[in-house]
Amino acid sequence: MGIEIAGKYHRIFVSRARRKGLANWIALRGDALLLLSAVLPARFAAAVHVYFPDPWPKSRHQKRRLFDPETVDLVLGLLAPGGRLSFATDFLEYGEKVADLLAGYPGLEVARLHGPWPEGPRTNYEAKYEAEGRPILRLEAAFALPDAPVHPGGEAGVIAALAPKEDGPDA
């Protein structure tokens, strides 16, 4: 399954999948965060691949990022027991933020790949960027326990973690 918001890239994905004669695929067009929160079922994916997502580098656009403290549960919540997340970006500042976010996630083990994927580039962007000599940050993650619940503290833990701390003698 692929999710793409831009019509041009959605059409490219569909065209390539058809040309290759693939039988087990679906292409969704829309905002990934909306689809993750309202359409896709929890814990259904054996693997989630996020390659070269838009980093939304401008401050006013960062709320659209796929990985931030408010949306990471949506992404990781897709993983079935034993599922794996693969991530790659050439926008290193964003990649480091994703690495830190995932490293602090309860029960999630994160590994940074130093070098290319063993089987070679996974996307056309990756092949192009490798040829250009761009640095690429690659991560793989999985829960330490295959059946670990997503965010073990539950919704209240997420809300508490995001709530601003009060200033004062008891804070």
The single-letter code of the amino acid at 50 is: V
Name the one residue in this structure whose structure tokens are 């070098």.
115
Active-site residue, 90 included: no
DSSP 8-state secondary structure symbol assigned to residue 56: -
Long-range contacts, stretch 21-26, CB < 8 angstroms, 24+ apart? 25/1, 26/1, 26/2
Among 31, 54, 68, 147, the one annotated catalytic: 54
Structure tokens at 17: 């999948």
Q: Which residues are catalytic?
A: 54
